[in-house]
Amino acid sequence: DQQVKQNSPSLSVQEGRISILNCDYTNSMFDYFLWYKKYPAEGPTFLISISSIKDKNEDGRFTVFLNKSAKHLSLHIVPSQPGDSAVYFCAALGGSNYKLTFGKGTLLTVNP
């Protein structure tokens, strides 16, 4: 029973364009959401987060949008760069407030 779903296993985008990575969740107890980025043979690194009291959080080229009613969040990267090519994991916290629940990840490829 997947509580955090990333339905697109991969996404390919041209350099300079916008990358939109989507994530859906089912557990209404989740109230804090994070995006992690993972390069091959490395551990995931934290990218950006959003609390459920907000609907948008921006950090440089990265913006996360949260639609609580739809239980949906998305990560926008603009402009996309080849170095952004990685697997992006959506993760959620709630209830216990310590156990991150991860999606399966989306492989983003940014083509030069």
Partner 1 sequence: GAGVSQSPSNKVTEKGKDVELRCDPISGHTALYWYRQSLGQGLEFLIYFQGNSAPDKSGLPSDRFSAERTGGSVSTLTIQRTQQEDSAVYLCASSRYGGQNTEAFFGQGTRLTVV
Site for partner 1, rule CB under 8 A: 2, 4, 6, 31-32, 34, 36, 41-46, 49, 51, 89, 91, 93, 96-105
Q: Is 76 exposed, middle or buried (0-12, 13-18, 19+ CB in 10 A)?
A: middle
Neighbours of 52 (CB within 10 A): 16
User: Could you tell me which of 109, 110, 107 has the C-alpha nearest to residue 6?
Assistant: 107
- Residue 6 · residue 58 · CB < 8 Å: no
**What is the smallest separation between the CB atom of 64 and partner 1, expressed in angstroms?**
14
Q: Which residue's CB is nearer to partner 1, number 14 or number 45?
A: 45
**What is the smallest separation between the CB atom of 84 and partner 1, expressed in angstroms?**
18
**What is the smallest separation between the CB atom of 55 and partner 1, expressed in angstroms?**
17
Question: Tokens 């948008």 label which residue?
Answer: 56
Q: Which residue's CB is nearer to partner 1, number 60 or number 112?
A: 60
**What is the smallest separation between the CB atom of 16 and partner 1, expressed in angstroms?**
29
